Amino acid sequence: MNQTLTNPNIAIDRSLGDFSYPMDYAYDAGVGLTEATVDYIANVKNDPDWVRAFRKDGYKKFLDKPMPTHWASKDLENIIFEKIRYYLAQSQQAKRTWDEVPEDIKRTFERLGIPEQERKFLAGVEAQFDSEAAYSNIKSAVGDQGVIFVGSTEGLHKHPEIFRKWFGKVIPSGDNKFSALNSAVFSGGSFIYVPPGVKVKHPLQAYFRINAESFGQFERTLIIADEGSEITYMEGCTAPKFETATLHSAVVELVALKGAKIQYITVQNWSPNVFNLVTKRGLAHEEAEVKWIDCNIGSRLTMKYPGVVMKGRKARGEVISIALAGDGQHQDTGAKMVHAADETTSNIVSKSISLGTGRATYRGLVHMPKHLKGCKNNTECDALLINSKSRTDTYPAITVRGQGNSCQHEASVSQISEEQIFYMQQRGLSEAAAMSLAVNGFVNDLVQQFPMEYSVELKRLIDLEMEGSVG
């Protein structure tokens, strides 16, 4: 275990991800988005007719929907859809063994430690390079239990009976402009099905990598946990620093059937030129539990509000969120909790740190429609401001109908107390070290909910970000 802890290959240090290789792509949809682009992707991927129709419908909705700038950041206007490349791939088939992966892609992932991690403890891993999965493997022990872990394309071709039933049902194409865009041009992402009663001991992991400049990554993930099953999924992401803006717009749908548990962990460390506009939502049936653990450190602008629709009695939703907004970054994150059945409970804990000119925003929605009994929500948002130019905002919206439910929201904004810093300096720590320690202390209770490897790296990353931020 100790060895895993100190394994530098799992590092999510930004400098590790800041490299790219020139690639020859076998499939390239070119620059800009038209109906022909959508057709190109459908042709290349050999989509069944219903998927093609789904894409066309998404494209139409994308055009119809306005940018949500009446409430969201005006920075969205800097996304130039005509200049983005929507599909780039080397191959249509993900490689099953590491040796089959082309040398240059292999180099990328080896630098990021992907196969290393798999050997260590993962039950399965999938690595996406630009539009398509470059490598996908699942441990035979897990595969034998009937767990399906494949790319979304393979999922819709080989398991249409499960895939089609839930695809686009948790997040309809028209949910927002970016989910519509994803519906039009999606490629890559994971499809996971866990059979009834199967408890996957180790986490499944996906790794997303943007390699090309001005590229848009639009992966689509669908996870279905059948009755009484349990699954943990982790995703990580990096991209090199390019001069031009890059767009990442994923859609992630989770379905937890009766009594199932899904835990979805994200550590987002995109480079600071990436617009990260992601729609994530889970559907929790009776006594099921969906938990999002979300950590946002990278990107230029992130807008992400993982949600849970609690559809069955006693369902539970949870969002644990950490956001670190450094110089020039805007982390606009939060949570959505829709209580649609009696005795459903939800919990949101969000902690954000703004440093330099960074801006952290919490945006939340809690909805309890009428005629429900015994629903409970608890929301806590804490923000830490490091510098005088840092900014933090909180915008929750809470609707409660009828009696018999309870809802509480609390938020606070604070600084690191000078006394704390003084105390630590007195004991020989430098001001920067004392600051790091205080920030780590602020997020400590949440960091502990992350798997060990991630929590260790998160602490390291916070130390790194804090360097030079004092004074």
Partner 1 sequence: MSVLEALEQSNKVAEPESAWPTWFSEIQKLAAEDFEATPAPTRRDEPWRFSNLKAIDLTGFVPAGPVSSEGRIINASQSLPAFAAKMVFGNNALLVQETPALPEGVLFKPLEVAAREHESMFREFFMAQPVELGSHKYAALHRANLQTGAFLYVPANVEVALPIEIFHWVEGENASIYPHTLIICGENSKVTVIDSFRSADKKRAFACGVNDLHLSPGAKLNYIAIQEWSDETLAFHINSTLVNKNSECTALAANFGGQFIRGESLSRMIGEGSRSEMLSLNPLDGKRQIDQRTLQDHAAPSASSDLLYLNALDDETRSIFAGLIKVEIGAHGTDAYQKVRNLMLSDTAEANSMPGLEILADGVRCTHGATAGEINEEELFYLEARGISKTSGRRLIVNGFFQTLLQRFKDEALREHLSKMVAAKLGLPF
Work out whether 328 is an interface residue with partner 1 (CB under 8 A).
no
Q: Which listed range, 10-18, 55-63, 265-273, 388-396, lies at the site for partner 1 (CB under 8 A)?
A: 388-396
What is the nearest approach in angstroms of partner 1 to the Cβ of residue 386?
7
Binding mask 355-374 for partner 1 (x = CB under 8 A): ---------------xx---
Distance CA 245, CA 325 (A): 18
Q: Considering the complex, state which of residue 16 and residue 411 has its C-beta at the smaller distance from partner 1.
A: 411
Instruction: Say which amino acid occupies 449.
Output: Q
Task: Spell out a b/e string for 283-306, using b for 16 or more CB atoms within 10 Å of the CB, else e.
Answer: bbbbbbbbbbbbbbbbbbbbbbbb
Q: Any idea which residue has 């780039």 for tokens?
A: 88
Q: Which listed range, 38-46, 138-146, 341-349, 379-387, lies at the site for partner 1 (CB under 8 A)?
A: 379-387
DSSP tag of 75: G
Work out whether 413 is an interface residue with partner 1 (CB under 8 A).
yes
Work out whether 398 is an interface residue with partner 1 (CB under 8 A).
yes
What is the nearest approach in angstroms of partner 1 to the Cβ of residue 407?
4
Distance CA 3, CA 100 (A): 28
Work out whether 439 is an interface residue with partner 1 (CB under 8 A).
no
Task: Spell out a b/e string for 348-378, using b for 16 or more CB atoms within 10 Å of the CB, else e.
Answer: bbbbbbbbbebbbbbbbbbbbeeebeebbbb
What is the nearest approach in angstroms of partner 1 to the Cβ of residue 363?
10
Binding test (CB under 8 A) with partner 1, winner from 390, 436, 455, 469: 390
Distance CA 179, CA 252 (A): 10
Q: What is the CA radius of gyration of the chain?
A: 21
In 15-123, at which residue ranges do the beta strands (DSSP E only) sit?
27-28, 88-89
Work out whether 410 is an interface residue with partner 1 (CB under 8 A).
yes
Q: Which listed range, 172-180, 340-348, 390-398, 462-470, lies at the site for partner 1 (CB under 8 A)?
A: 390-398
Q: Considering the complex, state which of residue 26 and residue 397 has its C-beta at the smaller distance from partner 1.
A: 397
Q: Which listed range, 77-85, 125-133, 258-266, 407-415, lies at the site for partner 1 (CB under 8 A)?
A: 407-415
Q: How far is CA 274 from CA 32, 84, 231, 298, 329, in A?
A: 17, 12, 29, 8, 10
Site for partner 1 in 27-56 (CB under 8 A): none
What is the nearest approach in angstroms of partner 1 to the Cβ of residue 437?
19
Q: Any idea which residue has 């609390």 for tokens?
A: 410
Q: Any idea which residue has 């995109």 for tokens?
A: 270
Q: Considering the complex, state which of residue 65 and residue 159 has its C-beta at the smaller distance from partner 1.
A: 65
Work out whether 69 is an interface residue with partner 1 (CB under 8 A).
no
Contacts with partner 1, residue ranges (CB under 8 A): 70-71, 370-371, 383, 385-388, 390-415
